[in-house]
């Protein structure tokens, strides 16, 4: 059943009216004292130097040393900081030739350098980097918190421990020019590794490489900008945490998460040979004998209307008439543009052009096609638990035919990462098992496609178009310059080919092992997997609040509303399980027509959406879901107590909303009253208090009201309301939060 974000919210309010762990980003530090030094390039430090030194001295247990560039100290620290926010500072350092030899000797003796601002030019000056970085400028126009700037790692690094893999570290209070020192466009450092790239409002700029790490001898971190102490910075608390992590990492006191780095890729698919795969015995599955959850929508003929099927990991989307438009296994897309055809004689008929009826159930979608050879039924299934699904075909044919499947795969990582962020696709066909394998260079993002028997023909490669020749019984294609793989598989169906075929699709961001386990389970035990999904929905409808009224349509749609909400309960490895805000294909991108189209609808974790939904979910009785949602909000609470607005399933966190934090407090109280779960509220109290402290801090004018200004938007602050200092909506939430927290 298609539930857009707007429909989902409407359903939530309807229900209200009717019912009156980043695990992988967890920091691990080793407590050991160390010395931290600050290099003064001036004889007398300026305000920036003074504030930077004060920041260092604010860390108990750190032995802080001042080192003069002109008078080198005999006692050198474990980590030496060269902070050059101004080009004049760089010119002064560059004119101290004796310093170059001293720094090289320091590094050769396992010294550690933190280089910020124009200090990012130091590795090239020392001869440790062959490619000179460039200096670019960003003209920033003060625009609440939408002009903020920060850094985003690839898939985590210790310098972002506690900052969820990336963070904004600068948000000024005026229009200003910010110099950035790094590697831009197609340029990469030759001797260093890119830790992080520039990030701005819901955008990751992967061609702006600003944080570079240099390995032994010694170690250097070069942060090309955004580090200021004398400039007003609303995000100083995050800058503090980031810099502290940098010192601890350089001192070998911060070990986790494991460091990852942005790599340079050609963005061209690479063919290879997959490792062997054993195919388990296939368990038969008969569509007529499958159990049912009890809900069903039928349409004859099928239309071009959208459908989605969603488990906790798998999301399949398409049109009723045929095929699959997209298949996501959070946080990436494993398939797009899957089409199914049937060769009859010398003709190829695409199923989405044939007369068909459709039955939509919570657990699956069933199509029935009328073909020249007889009836063909197709079952589309997304597994409830495993990251995979299948297409089951059953033919009542008068003679044999050939079933054609073709599909693209681009391993599209969830926006705001750009297309191709995972690198070159590696693909191959394993002939003994008849399976298609596609992965990223690391092997962590892995997909597996195929049936329990080998196809009679196949073709896979970087094709723009892929066609089937009915006469030659073979595929042919035209080459593409895109970083995508197009695969075609042909299977006999009917006659000696048998009357049924199950085509299984799986993928995982945890490597081949999990993808293979899901694929094998759907080959060897599809009935068990289907039964588990049916039982889940039966249990949901048996245990939650059900409306029985004289209006049978209302009663039925109420149940679909419960099912639709439950489908948004999504698990992403490394993040956890929580509500996303809605599904649709990426065809139009965010808000329509953008090139970035890398999010299936509103399939991110949203703060305010989940909180408003939580009131309704409480009222129909799913207390465990609300408890887990509150825990998820707390897990990703900002350092200052603010609740996130959105988290992509690729792990990028944004704190752009003014209403998510008061709604969190209100929902916690609502949950406590509905469930009586006082122990959880006691356990959550530090988070609740931190949220209230943050809310009090946003009252900049002392009128007793929390504010939108420099905090973020609320749900209704669009159109003419945009830019309001405090809206009636936000003030109302504050009043309720105060009452609930009292």
Rounded (5°) CA angle 403-503-499 = 55
Tens digits of residue pLDDT in 305-340 = 999 999 999 999 999 999 999 999 999 999 999 999
Rounded average pLDDT over 423-440: 98
Task: Name which residue leads in pLDDT, 376 or 23.
Answer: 376
The mean predicted confidence, pLDDT, of the chain is 93
pLDDT at 593: 52
Of 388, 360, 618, nearest in space to 523 by CA: 388
- Per-residue confidence at 281, pLDDT binned at 50, 70, 90? very high
Q: What would the mean pLDDT of 265-293 be, rounded to a whole number?
A: 96
Residues 46 and 241: their CA atoms lie apart, in Å, by 23
pLDDT digits (tens, 9 = 90+) for 182-231: 999 999 999 999 999 999 998 999 999 999 999 999 999 999 999 999 99
Place 719 in a pLDDT band, splitting at 50, 70 and 90: confident
User: Which pLDDT score, from 0 to 100, does residue 497 have?
Assistant: 57
Sorted by where each begins, the domain ranges of the chain are 5-22+568-741, 28-256, 270-536
Q: Could you tell me what percent of the chain has a pLDDT over 70?
A: 94
Task: Fill in the DSSP letter of residue 445.
Answer: S
Q: For the domain covering 270-536, report its CATH number.
A: 2.70.98.40
Question: By percentage, how much of the chain surpasses pLDDT 90?
Answer: 86
> What is the residue whose two structure tokens read 């049912």?
292
CA 355, 361, 366, 368 dihedral sign is negative
Contacts of 427 (CB under 8 A, 6+ apart): 269, 270, 271, 272, 409, 436, 437, 438, 439, 460, 461, 485
Q: Distance of CA 590 to CAs 5, 34, 250, 602, 613, Å?
A: 12, 47, 39, 8, 22
Among 4-8, 120-124, 167-171, name the one with the lowest average pLDDT: 4-8
Distance CA 721, CA 608 (A): 18
User: pLDDT tens for residues 60-117?
Assistant: 989 999 998 888 877 899 999 999 999 999 999 998 889 999 999 999 999 999 999 9
Q: What's the mean pLDDT in 463-486?
A: 96
Higher pLDDT, 664 or 44: 664
As a whole number of angstroms, the distance between CA 659 and CA 656 comes to 9
Question: At 413, phi and psi to the nearest 5?
Answer: -75, 145
Place of tokens 């895109």: 482
- Residue 713 is given by DSSP the state B
DSSP assignment letter at 667: H
pLDDT tens sequence across 25-39: 444 555 567 899 999
The tokens for 416 are 């705001």
Tens of pLDDT along 637-684? 999 999 999 999 999 999 999 999 999 999 999 999 999 999 999 999
Per-residue pLDDT at 548 exceeds 80: yes
Cα distances (Å, whole numbers) of residue 413 to 351, 420, 494, 600 = 29, 8, 38, 11
Whether the pLDDT of residue 118 is over 80: the answer is yes
Q: Which CATH architecture has domain 28-256?
A: 3-Layer(aba) Sandwich (3.40)
Confidence at residue 594, expressed as pLDDT on a 0 to 100 scale: 54
pLDDT at 29: 53
pTM: 0.93
Integer Cα distance of 542 and 422 in angstroms: 43
DSSP string, 156-193: --GGGTTTTTEEEEE--SS-EEEEEEEEETT---SSSE
Could you tell me if 395 and 378 are in contact, meaning their C-beta atoms sit under 8 angstroms apart?
A: no
pLDDT of residue 508: 98
pLDDT at residue 683, as a whole number: 98
User: Which sign does the torsion angle of CA 481, 482, 485, 491 carry?
Assistant: negative
Residue closest to 713 by CA, chosen among 730, 701, 693, 697: 730
Calculate mean pLDDT across residues 564-581. Answer: 97
How far CA 105 is from CA of 35, 468, 603, in Å, comes to 18, 66, 52
Give the pLDDT confidence of 338-391 residue by residue, as tens digits: 999 999 988 999 999 999 999 999 999 999 999 999 999 999 999 999 999 999
Stretch 116-125: mean pLDDT: 98
Averaged over 452-461, what is the pLDDT?
A: 97
Q: Is the pLDDT of residue 607 over 80?
A: yes
With bands split at pLDDT 50, 70 and 90, how would you rate the model's confidence at 596?
A: low
How many angstroms separate the first and last alpha carbons of the chain?
42
Residue that has been written with the tokens 């990469």 in this structure: 188
């Amino acid at each position: 059943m298609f539930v857009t974000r707007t429909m989902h919210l409407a359903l939530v309010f309807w229900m209200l009216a009717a019912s009156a762990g980043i695990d992988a980003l967890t920091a691990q530090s080793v407590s050991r004292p160390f010395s931290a030094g600050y290099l003064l390039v001036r004889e007398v430090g300026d305000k920036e130097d003074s504030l930077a030194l004060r920041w260092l001295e604010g860390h108990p247990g750190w032995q802080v040393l001042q080192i003069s560039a002109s008078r080198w100290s005999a006692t050198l620290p474990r980590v030496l900081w060269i902070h050059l926010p101004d080009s004049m500072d760089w010119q002064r350092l560059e004119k101290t030739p004796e310093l170059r030899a001293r720094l090289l000797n320091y590094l050769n003796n396992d010294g550690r350098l933190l280089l910020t601002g124009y200090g990012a030019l130091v590795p090239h000056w020392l001869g440790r980097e062959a490619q000179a970085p460039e200096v670019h400028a960003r003209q920033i126009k003060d625009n609440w918190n939408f002009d903020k700037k920060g850094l985003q790692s690839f898939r985590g690094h210790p310098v972002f421990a506690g900052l969820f893999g990336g963070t904004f570290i600068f948000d000024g209070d005026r229009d200003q020019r910010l110099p950035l020192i790094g590697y831009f466009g197609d340029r990469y450092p030759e001797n260093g590794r890119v830790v992080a790239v520039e990030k701005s409002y819901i955008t990751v700029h992967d061609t702006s490489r600003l944080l570079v790490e240099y390995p032994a001898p010694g170690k250097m971190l070069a942060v090309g900008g955004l580090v200021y102490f004398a400039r007003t910075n609303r995000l100083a608390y995050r800058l503090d945490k980031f810099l502290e992590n940098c010192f601890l990492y350089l001192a070998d006191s911060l070990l986790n998460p494991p460091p990852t780095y942005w790599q340079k890729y050609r963005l061209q698919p690479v063919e290879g040979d997959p490792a062997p795969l054993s195919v388990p015995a296939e368990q038969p599955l008969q569509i007529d004998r499958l159990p049912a959850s009890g809900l069903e929508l039928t349409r004859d003929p099928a239309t071009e209307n959208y459908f989605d099927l969603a488990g906790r990991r798998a999301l399949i989307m398409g049109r009723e008439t045929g095929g699959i438009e997209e298949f996501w296994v959070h946080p990436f897309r494993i398939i797009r543009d899957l089409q199914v055809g049937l060769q009859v004689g010398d003709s190829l008929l695409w199923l989405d052009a044939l007369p068909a009826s459709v039955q939509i159930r919570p657990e699956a979608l069933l199509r029935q096609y009328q073909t020249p050879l007889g009836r063909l039924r197709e079952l589309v299934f997304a597994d409830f638990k495993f990251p995979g699904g299948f297409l089951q075909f059953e033919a009542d044919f008068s003679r044999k035919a050939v079933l054609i499947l073709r599909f693209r795969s681009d391993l599209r990582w969830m926006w705001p990462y750009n297309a191709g962020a995972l690198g070159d696709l590696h693909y191959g066909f394993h002939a003994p098992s008849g399976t298609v394998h596609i992965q990223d260079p690391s092997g962590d993002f892995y997909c597996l496609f195929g049936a329990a028997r080998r196809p009679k023909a196949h073709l896979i490669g970087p094709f723009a178009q892929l066609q089937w020749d009915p006469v030659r019984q073979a595929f042919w294609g035209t080459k593409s310059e895109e970083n995508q793989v197009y695969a075609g598989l042909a299977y006999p169906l009917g006659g000696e080919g048998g009357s049924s075929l199950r085509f299984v699709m799986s993928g995982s961001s945890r490597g081949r092992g999990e993808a293979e386990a899901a694929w094998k389970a759907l080959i060897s035990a599809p009935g068990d997997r289907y039964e588990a999904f049916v039982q889940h929905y039966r249990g949901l409808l048996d245990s939650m609040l059900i409306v029985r009224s004289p209006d049978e349509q209302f009663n039925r749609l109420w149940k679909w509303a419960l099912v639709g909400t439950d489908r948004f309960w999504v698990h992403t490895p490394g993040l956890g399980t929580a509500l996303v805000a809605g599904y649709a294909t990426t065809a139009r991108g965010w808000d329509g027509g953008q090139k970035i189209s890398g999010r299936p609808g509103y399939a991110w974790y949203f703060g305010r959406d989940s909180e408003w939904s939580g009131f309704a979910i409480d009222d129909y009785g799913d207390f465990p879901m609300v408890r887990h949602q509150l825990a998820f909000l707390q897990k990703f609470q900002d350092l200052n107590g603010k609740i996130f607005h959105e988290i992509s399933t690729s792990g990028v966190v944004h704190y752009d909303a003014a209403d998510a934090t008061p709604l969190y407090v209100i929902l916690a109280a609502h949950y406590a009253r509905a469930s009586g779960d006082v122990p959880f509220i006691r356990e959550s109290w530090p988070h609740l208090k931190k949220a209230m402290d943050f809310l009090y801090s946003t009252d900049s004018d002392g009128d007793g009201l929390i504010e939108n200004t420099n905090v973020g938007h609320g749900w209704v602050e669009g159109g003419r309301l945009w830019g309001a200092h405090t809206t009636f909506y936000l003030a109302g939430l504050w009043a309720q939060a105060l009452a609930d927290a009292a």
